[in-house]
C-alpha cells in the first residue's frame, strides 16, 4: 500500500542578517584614517615649510642686500672722505709750518698727524678691492721707513741737485720715502713734537712734499671707491693736476653682487670680504700687542718716533667696531651686527662687549716705552686676552652669516 505523498510546502524565504563590524575592523579603519591624516598633514606641512623657507630666504637676502649697501655708503665711503679731509688738514698744517716754523705751528702739525693717523686705521677693515688693487696702504703708510735714503734725498736738495715735488716723490721714489712714517720722522722725537727750530728749510720742504703726496693719494683712494666723476669739482681738479687718471666706482660693483657689471657673483662674497677682513684686523691687532706693546724698545714699533702704537691699535679696533655697527654713530642703519643678531643674539652681544673691552684694555697700556711700570706686563696680558677673545667671537660669526643659504653661491666660482 502506497503511503500517500506529503503535500509540498514551500520554505520561507531566508532573511540575511547585516553583520556589524568587529572591534578589530574598527581598529583597522581608525588606524588607516590616522595614517591618511598624517600623510595629508605631512604633505601640507611640507608645502607650508617650503613656502616658509622660501619667504624666509627672500627676506634674509633683502636684509643682506641692505647691509652691504649701508656698509659701503656709511662705513667705506664716509671713512675715505674723512681720511681725505684729515690728510688735507695735515698737508695744510705742514705748509703753515714751513711758512712760519713756530712752536704753535709745530704743535698744530703734530696734532694733525695724530688725527689723520687715527682716521687711517679704519681703512684696514676694507683692505680688499681698490686698496689691494692699487696698494694704497703701501703708498700712504709704507713701513719700515728708509731713513738713510730720506736723509740722502734731503742732502741732495740742500746741494741743489734735486728739486723735490709731490709728483716726483710719488712717481720717482720708493714708497718707503714718503707717507705717514716719513712725516712722523720729521715731526717727532721720543714721542714728542720736535722743536720747530730743529727742522732745516729742506726738511720742511721735504715734509710738505710728503704730505702733499699723501693728500693726492688719499683722494685717489677715495676716487677708486666712489668714482672720480662723483667727487667734488675741487677734488677732481686736484687729481687731474697731480696726473692721476680717472677711476670708476668700485662701490657700485660691491653694492650689486650678482648683477651685470659686478665681479661679485653673489652676496656671500662681499659678506666674506666684510667679516673676514675685520677678523684679520683683530688678529693683526693681537700680533701688534704681542710684538710691540710687550716690548720695551720703541724700535720694535711702527711708530717709533711718535710712540703712537697703543693709539694705532685702539683705532684699528674702533674701525672694526664702526664696520660691525654699520658706520659712525648717527649714520648707522643696517649693519653686520643685525645679521649676527638675527642668527645668534648672544654671539652679537659677546662681540659688542669684547670690542669695547679690547679697546679699553689696549688703551690702559699707554706708552709701552715710557718709564718702567711694574704693572705693564699684567696690562699687556689683559690686552692680549681681550683681543684674542674678540678674534674668537668674530671667527664664530663668519660661518653663521656668510654661509647663510640666502646668500648662495658661497664661492666666487660657484654655480
Backbone angles phi, psi at 192, to 5 degrees: -125, 155
Spatial distance between the Cα atoms of 318 and 120, rounded to a whole number of angstroms: 11
Annotated domain spans of the chain:
60-407
Residue 407 has a pLDDT of 84
Q: Which grid cell sits at 69?
A: 649697501
pLDDT of residue 54: 63
Collapsed DSSP state (helix, strand, coil) of residue 191:
coil
Q: Helices (DSSP H) in 326-375: which residue ranges?
A: 336-343, 345-365
By the 8 A CB rule, do 69 and 167 touch?
A: no
Query: In terms of DSSP bridges, do strands 188-189 and 192-193 run parallel, antiparallel, or are they unpaired?
Result: antiparallel
Secondary structure in 3-state letters for 240-256? HHCCCCCCCCHHHHHHC
Work out the angle at residue 362's Cα, subtended by the Cα atoms of residues 176 and 186, and round it to the nearest 5 degrees. 30
Best CA proximity match to 384, nearest among 291, 289, 304: 289
pLDDT value, residue 370: 80
Among residues 305, 111, 100, the alpha carbon closest in space to that of 196 is found at 100
Please report the pLDDT score of residue 1 as a whole number. 45
pLDDT confidence of residue 328: 85
In angstroms, the CA 294 to CA 287 distance is 10
Beta pairing partners, 189: 192
DSSP code string of 142-175: -SS--HHHHHHHHHHHHTTS----HHHHHHHS-G
C-alpha cell at 383: 690686552
Residues of the chain with pLDDT under 50: 1-2, 7-11, 16, 44-52
Q: Name the average pLDDT for the chain.
A: 89
Q: What are the two backbone dihedrals, phi and then psi, of residue 296, each rounded to the nearest 5 degrees?
A: -100, 0
Residue 28 confidence (pLDDT): 65
Per DSSP, the three-state class of 333 is coil
Taking the CA atoms of residue 87, residue 92, residue 96 and residue 102 in that order, the dihedral angle to the nearest 10 degrees is: -30
Instruction: Say how far apart CA 4 and CA 363 lie, in whole Å.
Output: 135
Using alpha carbons, list the distances in angstroms from residue 249 to 91, 126, 222, 383: 26, 15, 10, 39
CB 186 within 8 A of CB 202: no
Nearest to 167 by CA among 244, 222, 232: 244
Give the model's pLDDT for residue 373. Answer: 74
CATH of domain 60-407: 1.20.1420.20
- Partners of 188 in the β-ladder: 193
Place of cell 584614517: 33
Cell of 386: 681681550
Q: Give which of 237, 312, 244, 319 is closest to 278, Cα–Cα.
A: 319
Q: What does the block give as the cell for 94?
A: 705742514
The sign one gets for the Cα dihedral 225, 229, 230, 232 is positive
Triad 231, 233, 234: Cα angle to 5°: 105
Amino acid at each position: 500500500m502506497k503511503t500517500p505523498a506529503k503535500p509540498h510546502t514551500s520554505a520561507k524565504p531566508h532573511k540575511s542578517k547585516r553583520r556589524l563590524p568587529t572591534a578589530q575592523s574598527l581598529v583597522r579603519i581608525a588606524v588607516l584614517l590616522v595614517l591618511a591624516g598624517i600623510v595629508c598633514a605631512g604633505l601640507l606641512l611640507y608645502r607650508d615649510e617650503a613656502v616658509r623657507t622660501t619667504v624666509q630666504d627672500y627676506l634674509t637676502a633683502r636684509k643682506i642686500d641692505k647691509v652691504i649697501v649701508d656698509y659701503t655708503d656709511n662705513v667705506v665711503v664716509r671713512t675715505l672722505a674723512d681720511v681725505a679731509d684729515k690728510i688735507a688738514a695735515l698737508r695744510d698744517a705742514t705748509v703753515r709750518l714751513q711758512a712760519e716754523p713756530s712752536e704753535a705751528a709745530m704743535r698744530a702739525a703734530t696734532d694733525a698727524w695724530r688725527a689723520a693717523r687715527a682716521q687711517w686705521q679704519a681703512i684696514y677693515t676694507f683692505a680688499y678691492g681698490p686698496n689691494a688693487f692699487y696698494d694704497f696702504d703701501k703708498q700712504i703708510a709704507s713701513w719700515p721707513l728708509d731713513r738713510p735714503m730720506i736723509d740722502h734725498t734731503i742732502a741732495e736738495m740742500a746741494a741743489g741737485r734735486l728739486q723735490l715735488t709731490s709728483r716726483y716723490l710719488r712717481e720717482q721714489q720708493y714708497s718707503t720715502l714718503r707717507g705717514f712714517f716719513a712725516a712722523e720722522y720729521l715731526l717727532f722725537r721720543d714721542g714728542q713734537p720736535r722743536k720747530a727750530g730743529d727742522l732745516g728749510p729742506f726738511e720742511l720742504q721735504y715734509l710738505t712734499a710728503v704730505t702733499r703726496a699723501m693728500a693726492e693719494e688719499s683722494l685717489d683712494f677715495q676716487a677708486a671707491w666712489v668714482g672720480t666723476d662723483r667727487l667734488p669739482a675741487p677734488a677732481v681738479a686736484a687729481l687731474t693736476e697731480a696726473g692721476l687718471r680717472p677711476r670708476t666706482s668700485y662701490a657700485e660693483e660691491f653694492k650689486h653682487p650678482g648683477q651685470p657689471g659686478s665681479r661679485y657673483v653673489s652676496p656671500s662674497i662681499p659678506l666674506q670680504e666684510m667679516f673676514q677682513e675685520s677678523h684679520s684686523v683683530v688678529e693683526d691687532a693681537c700680533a701688534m700687542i704681542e710684538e710691540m706693546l710687550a716690548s720695551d724698545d720703541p724700535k720694535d714699533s711702527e711708530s717709533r718716533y711718535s710712540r703712537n702704537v697703543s693709539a694705532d691699535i685702539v683705532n684699528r679696533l674702533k674701525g672694526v667696531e664702526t664696520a660691525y655697527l654699520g658706520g659712525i654713530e648717527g649714520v648707522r642703519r643696517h649693519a653686520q651686527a643685525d645679521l649676527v643678531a638675527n642668527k645668534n643674539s648672544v654671539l652679537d652681544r659677546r662681540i659688542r662687549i669684547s670690542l669695547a673691552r679690547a679697546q679699553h684694555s689696549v688703551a690702559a697700556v699707554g706708552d709701552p716705552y715710557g718709564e718702567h711700570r711694574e704693572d705693564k706686563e699684567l696690562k699687556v696680558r689683559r690686552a692680549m686676552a681681550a683681543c684674542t677673545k674678540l678674534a674668537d667671537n668674530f671667527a664664530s660669526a663668519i660661518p653663521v652669516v656668510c654661509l647663510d643659504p640666502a646668500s648662495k653661491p658661497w664661492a666666487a666660482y660657484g654655480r
